A and B are shown apart, each in its own frame.
Chain A
Amino acid sequence: MDNNIKISINGQGVEVKKDTSILDAARQIGVNIPTLCYHKDLCIAGNCRVCVVEVAGQKRLSPACATPCEEGMEILTNSVKVRNSRKHIIELLLSEHNADCTRCYKNGNCELQKLASDYKIMTSDFIPLVPFKHYTIDMFSPSIIKDDSKCIRCQRCVRTCAELQGVSALSVAYKGDMMKITTFFEKAMNEVNCTNCGQCVIHCPTGALTERNYIEEVWEAITDPSKFVVVQTAPAVRVALGEELGFEVGTRITGKMVAALKRLGFDAVMDTDFTADLTIMEEGTELLTRLKGVLLDHDQNVKLPMATSCSPGWIKYIEHMYPEYLGNLSTCKSPQQMFGALAKTYYARARRLEPENIVSVSVMPCTAKKFEANRPEMHDSGYRDVDYVLTTRELAIMIKQAGIDFMSLEDMSYDRLMGESTGAGVIFGATGGVMEAALRTAYELVTGREVPFQNLNILPVRGMEGVREATIRIDNPLKEWAFLDGVELKCAIAHGLVNAKKVMDAVRSGEANYHFIEVMACPGGCLGGGGQPIPTSPEIRAKRAAAIYTEDENMPIRKSHKNPEVIKIYEDFLGKPLGEKSHHLLHTSYTVRKRY
């Protein structure tokens, strides 16, 4: 059956699939229609009306995003009627918006600003509406700032929070001129079930939702001669930072990033990959211990499936939504927090530094990491383990502020002691990466052989489907793991909390019998994190993922337990995985939270 239909756009004939929207049809032939409430990750809303077009024979204009093409449609995307209406709509949005652009964190990266510029809204005599509304800025969350005066009510954040995350911390309240995006009972963002994932931030077209930035605090620490500032960078930062600094999406700029951090004046530039590998040692051992507890010792107190604990958005989500499963979370801290605890103990001792003079900074693809660093239990070094968390975006801003010509930088390497990367650490940045890294190590620890996949690439756990499952059968294990002989290790991977919900509901109902679950709060995992460059889209995330797997393949060492610095830290400092020192510094506990 022929499912194609013929339409014309601005006089140009085009054949499209049935049910294609006018917006997509126009894009197919290179006709750009401006949008605001539209986002590729989200359902169609048709709220902003910026994308209206004229369809011949119809009295009213149609939103291009929400109108399906019909046979014979004649569409005008740039008629006088369309242009005048569009200008009016932009003017209206500006009248309701705090358009103090020069003092906005999103200045230069705002979709409304760009539209206003494209359509040259030079003056508007509409009455400014912001002064009537008595807005206050919600700065209570350590991760996210919400400024209603800059909100254009496109509901992208609302749809993000509901559709990608299944959290709905943000929703629409009131009607008419009072209509706004808010939280349960208009509580502050830190008092509701917000996971701090920051997906709302990267989906917000204006400055209404931004990350809480710690740029000035970090500058101050760097320029304070009495402070020794160590910085760690997460795996997903190196495949995205380039986007903010002039490189193509998916360019790996690890060496330049390290060089830039040194130029900025950080005293030691190290790699979260190191503690990612350490996490694998601890978490892999924990998984094997739990398997032993359940399968061999039949200990009722040992919980399976075990779930990963690297993603702080996921941790807060499960604390709110599935508190009865907190015992299933790995007790391992996230790599960021392991790093923080070791920076002020192991690193301080080795470098003969006073821990109180160390300022520990991390660069993360994540806004929830800011919350995580703030958790009261994260003081195992005797100090606050991580002092400041910067997002990928904030680091890019610092590089620009410092006047560094990023593109011309020579590659440099991470500093030693906690700077060794492995391929296993790098793939933490992609959904399924922790699982893959853990399996590479756990399988080898148990059997003495490498995982039975070509070139260590455990392809079944990779990809972008919301929930993925994989099974690895263990045959001929080493003697001490004999109880695992013939056991099929069942794994599930979920990214985006709406998918985490699916997995947890399957666990709760008993229909799933996984041993090991990896959850990343953000779509695509950390590479799609809430702290990453804006915009985001499925294509952009796929390119970042490809960059991560290429980085992995180019690494000389690709298994966590082969990281020489990890081997050394166990010899010199920690003893053994799940040992007493590890337990004190590298493991944590969780909190039951309310559901609103």
Chain B
Amino acid sequence: MSNSDQLKRADFIFKNENDWEDILKKNIKRSQQELINELISSELKGRGGAGFPTGLKWKLSAEAESDAKYVICNADEGEPGTFKDREILSLVPFKVLTAMAICGHVIGAKEGFIYLRGEYFFLKPRLNEAIHEFETYCKTIHVDFSIRIFMGSGAYICGEETALFESMEGKRGEPRNKPPYPALSGYMNKPTVINNVETLAHTYTIFKYGAKRFYDLGVQFSRGTKLFSVSGDTPKPGIYELELGMSLADFVNDFGDGDTKAVQVGGASGFLVPRKRFTETNIGFQGKLTGISLPTGGSMMLFNSSRSMFNVLDNYLEFFREESCGQCTPCRVGCQQLWRGIKAVKSGDKNAQYLDKLLRLAETMQLTSKCGLGQSVANSFSSIVENFREEMIY
């Protein structure tokens, strides 16, 4: 658990990428096992929010036997309140491309894709230029790896990895049943490593400085740094690279406006933390730490006392009832019921006890939804209703 020291800022991700050719050349010569071991020992976990160990992901795909394998960079950044991947792709695209090629070398893939969020279309020309330059260099050092951009059409669900595959295969973006997991059966039902933009950028850091340097950052179970998209009631909105494991109290000290009453950690699908829990809450992956650890894809939204938490929740739920793919019952109908439900309570059409029914519904959604979307709608709903129940009613 971190003490109330200052936030540990870091500067790895956006540090210059001029050495990408060397990093690529050097690492492509290393054995697959060596690279996997390096990643595993760094304890890097996926930065999309779910936090699956990246080294293990690569290892599973590397061990799978198949005539074709793929590396996919998930740039479908759609979580409300996140904007870090856009910055990475704008400022240090070669780090991502290099990491993809090294991953291709590790698992035996010759093709990579960047699944780019539809709303980031403006990034495409520059990114294509970078890819062209990258591939040209690859040829000179005999690295057989190509990268293509696949444009999404603007559906939030397509950030879910299996829905993303469906979308890439020309089908409707709907999550698949798991198992099988992407590492063994992903895009085109072939072994696929799918990593978030930021995760790939961190692997670059690891391949550049070594696992130890990365491992030494952060805290137990939450190693390394993380980009945070800070927004809301803050005098300093923007993107910051910080070590994992900080307490929310420290974060608010630094980024709050002095009147912060709650922070939404992890965007609309994350958790709302009220002021009284700032000190005991750490930002990082759940482990055997004391206190509460909250994983996050990077979105940190601060709310001060001028905000109605009802409006905040109303906004999130309206987003979800639109962005659910609609495939499975608990998510499709559950989102509509939660959204209409809190409105009905607010207007007095339903009594306050109805919130308890909705909390039980939220639990069912968490237990039974097909993918992370439906499972995580409950997070913001439950944490806001439990902590600001009175704001839902009056």
Contacts and interface: CB of A to CB of B under 8 A. Distances in A.
B367 A175 contact: no
B260 to A, nearest CB: 31
A153 B360 CA distance: 23
Contacts of B329: 47-50, 89, 92-93, 152-153
B326 A125 contact: no
Contact of B368 (A52, A66, A152): A52
Contact of A92 (B327, B330, B350, B354): B330
Interface string A3-42: 0000000000000000000000000000000000000000
Nearest to A154: B329
Interface stretch (B218-226, B248-256, B290-298, B316-324): B316-324
Given A172-B172, A175-B157, A46 B370 contact: yes
A419 B229 CA distance: 80
B179 interface: yes
Contacts of B350: 125
Given A176-B323, A176-B324, A129 B368 contact: no
A125 B341 CA distance: 10
B367 A177 contact: no
Nearest to B179: A68
A125 B358 CA distance: 10
A61 B326 contact: no
A400 interface: no
Interface string A478-512: 00000000000000000000000000000000000
A155 B327 CA distance: 8
B47 to A, nearest CB: 22
B364 A89 contact: yes
Interface stretch (B12-20, B120-128, B234-242, B332-340): B332-340
A85 interface: yes
B177 interface: yes
B344 interface: yes
Nearest to A70: B179
A92 B374 CA distance: 14
A127 interface: yes
A89 B329 CA distance: 7
A471 interface: no
A84 interface: yes
B357 interface: yes
Interface in A48-98: 48-50, 52, 59-61, 63, 66-68, 81, 84-85, 88-89, 92-93, 95-96
Contacts of B320: 176
A60 B336 contact: no
B253 to A, nearest CB: 34
A331 B155 CA distance: 49
Given A96-B333, A126-B337, A129-B336, A176 B360 contact: no
B333 A84 contact: no
B342 to A, nearest CB: 11
A44 interface: yes
B324 A125 contact: no
Given A44-B177, A177-B335, A85 B326 contact: no
Contacts of B328: 46-49
Contacts of A177: 321-322, 324, 326, 332, 335-336
Contacts of A1: none
A179 interface: yes
Contacts of A152: 329
| B172, B323, B324, B367: most-surrounded residue (chain A CB, <10 A) | B367
Contacts of A85: 364, 367-368
Contacts of B155: 175
A92 B366 CA distance: 14
B1 interface: no
B177 A176 contact: no
A89 B328 CA distance: 10
A280 B174 CA distance: 48
A177 B333 CA distance: 7
A174 interface: yes
B82 interface: no
Nearest to B322: A176
A93 B332 CA distance: 10
Contacts of A171: 172
Given A49-B368, A153-B332, A175-B155, A63 B325 contact: no
A84 B364 contact: yes
Nearest to B172: A172
Contacts of A84: 360, 364
Nearest to A179: B326
Interface of A: 44, 46-50, 52, 59-61, 63, 66-68, 81, 84-85, 88-89, 92-93, 95-96, 125-127, 129, 152-153, 155, 171-172, 174-179
Given A49-B328, A177-B335, A177-B336, 18 more contacts: A46-B177, A47-B327, A47-B370, A49-B368, A50-B329, A52-B367, A81-B367, A88-B364, A89-B368, A92-B330, A129-B340, A153-B332, A175-B323, A176-B324, A178-B322, A178-B326, A179-B326, A179-B332
Query: Lowest 8 CB-CB distances: which A-B pairs, in order?
Result: A179-B326, A92-B333, A66-B177, A88-B364, A176-B322, A46-B177, A176-B324, A49-B368
16 contacts: A44-B177, A49-B328, A50-B329, A61-B367, A88-B330, A88-B361, A89-B364, A89-B368, A92-B361, A127-B344, A172-B172, A176-B321, A177-B322, A177-B324, A177-B335, A179-B332
